[in-house]
């Protein structure tokens, strides 16, 4: 009887226990499903993390590669820049050397030009002095001689003649005038006497100190005399000669014309261009 009373209670307990076990099984299944879900998410996250790590490693490797390349490129560019700077420095030094050379050459050229200018001025001055001297010499081809000197002076002043050419021509003219002052020459030429009469005469010039003449008949004699008129030098014939002077002129002409044998002829100082007018 007592067992029968306990049976419903036992059934109730068993029923309740069965329900509780069923709930537990359901909860366990839910927990397993949740676990599987979480494990799946964890694996997914692990794969993402692995992928991210791989990407990070790749990025890190790429960064290191780029950094190495950048460093190598920077060093190469610095080396190239240093090389270019060295080349620029060398070129600048060469350029400065060339500029110095050009400056020295210009200074030398300017110095030469200055010296040449001074030389031209000196040559022009000498030529003008020679021109003035020729203008005062004996009237023996004087115009042509004077024209040559004036032509040289013009060419020097205008720059048509170089310094070398001017010096050569001036040297030649001085040599001609020196020869003119040393030579003995005679010509037969028409001559205008002091009174204006035109005669044929033999004219003898001894250097630039004597110039005498005689007509074809040997009756008229004269000597050239230099005078100062109004501050200028002029020449005129002096035909008032004494017998000794006439004889000396005739002898000198005959010897020069080979009418008499060579001999020393003494011409009186009074017959020279500075001997004075008779």
Q: Domain ranges in the chain?
A: 184-278
**How many CB atoms are located within 10 Å of the residue 112 CB?**
10
The Cα 235–Cα 140 span in angstroms is 11
Tell me what pLDDT residue 14 has: 64
Residue ranges of the alpha helices (H) in the chain?
Answer: 2-135, 142-158, 163-182, 243-256
| Beta bridge pairs of residue 233 | 228
> Phi/psi at 186 (nearest 5 deg)?
-140, 140
3-state SS, residue 159? coil
- State the residue for tokens 């209670």: 9
| pTM (global) more than 0.75 | no
Tell me what pLDDT residue 33 has: 80
Tell me what pLDDT residue 231 has: 85
List all residues 6 or more positions away from 192 whose beta carbon is below 8 Å from its beta carbon: 198
**pLDDT tens string for the chain (278 positions)?**
555 555 666 666 666 666 666 666 777 787 778 777 878 878 887 787 777 777 777 777 888 888 888 888 888 888 889 888 998 989 999 889 999 999 898 998 899 889 999 999 999 999 999 999 999 999 999 999 999 999 999 999 999 999 999 999 999 999 999 999 999 999 999 999 888 899 999 999 999 899 999 998 889 999 999 988 888 889 999 999 999 999 999 999 999 999 999 999 888 888 888 875 54
Q: Which two tokens stand for residue 260?
A: 């008499």
Tell me what pLDDT residue 154 has: 95
Question: Sheet harboring 232-238: ordered strands across?
Answer: 184-192, 198-206, 210-215, 221-229, 232-238
The Cα 53–Cα 39 span in angstroms is 20
Buried b (16+ CB within 10 A) or exposed e, 214-239: bbeeeebbbbbbbeeeeeeeeeebbe
For residues 205 and 140, the answer to whether their CB atoms sit within 8 Å is yes
Tell me what pLDDT residue 27 has: 74
Q: Which two tokens stand for residue 70?
A: 């950048």
Instruction: Write out the H or E segment, with its range, that includes residue 214.
Output: strand 210-215
Q: Which two tokens stand for residue 118?
A: 């001074």
List all residues 6 or more positions away from 189 whose beta carbon is below 8 Å from its beta carbon: 200, 201, 203
């Amino acid at each position: 009887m007592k067992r029968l009373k306990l049976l419903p209670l036992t059934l109730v307990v068993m029923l309740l226990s069965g329900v509780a076990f069923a709930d537990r099984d359901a909860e366990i299944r839910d927990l397993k499903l949740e676990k599987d879900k979480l494990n799946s998410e964890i694996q997914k996250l692990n794969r993402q993390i692995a992928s991210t790590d791989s990407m990070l490693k790749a990025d890190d490797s790429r960064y290191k590669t780029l950094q190495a390349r950048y460093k190598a490129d920077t060093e190469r560019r610095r080396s190239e820049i240093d090389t270019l700077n060295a080349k620029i420095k060398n070129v600048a030094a060469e350029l400065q050397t060339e500029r110095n050379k050009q400056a020295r050459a210009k200074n030398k050229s300017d110095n030469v030009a200055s010296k040449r200018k001074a030389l031209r001025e000196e040559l022009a001055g000498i030529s003008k002095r020679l021109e003035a001297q020729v203008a005062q010499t004996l009237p023996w081809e004087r115009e042509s001689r004077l024209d040559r000197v004036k032509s040289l002076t013009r060419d020097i002043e205008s720059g048509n003649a170089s310094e070398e050419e001017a010096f050569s021509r001036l040297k030649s003219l001085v040599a001609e005038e020196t020869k003119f002052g040393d030579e003995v020459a005679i010509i037969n030429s028409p001559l205008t006497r002091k009174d204006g009469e035109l005669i044929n005469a033999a004219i003898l010039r001894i250097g630039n100190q004597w110039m005498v003449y005689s007509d074809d008949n040997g009756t008229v004699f004269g000597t050239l005399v230099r005078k100062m008129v109004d501050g200028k030098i002029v020449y005129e014939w002096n035909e008032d000669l004494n017998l000794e002077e006439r004889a000396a002129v005739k002898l000198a002409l005959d010897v020069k014309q080979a009418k008499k044998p060579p001999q020393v002829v003494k011409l009186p100082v009074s017959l020279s261009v500075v001997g004075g007018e008779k």
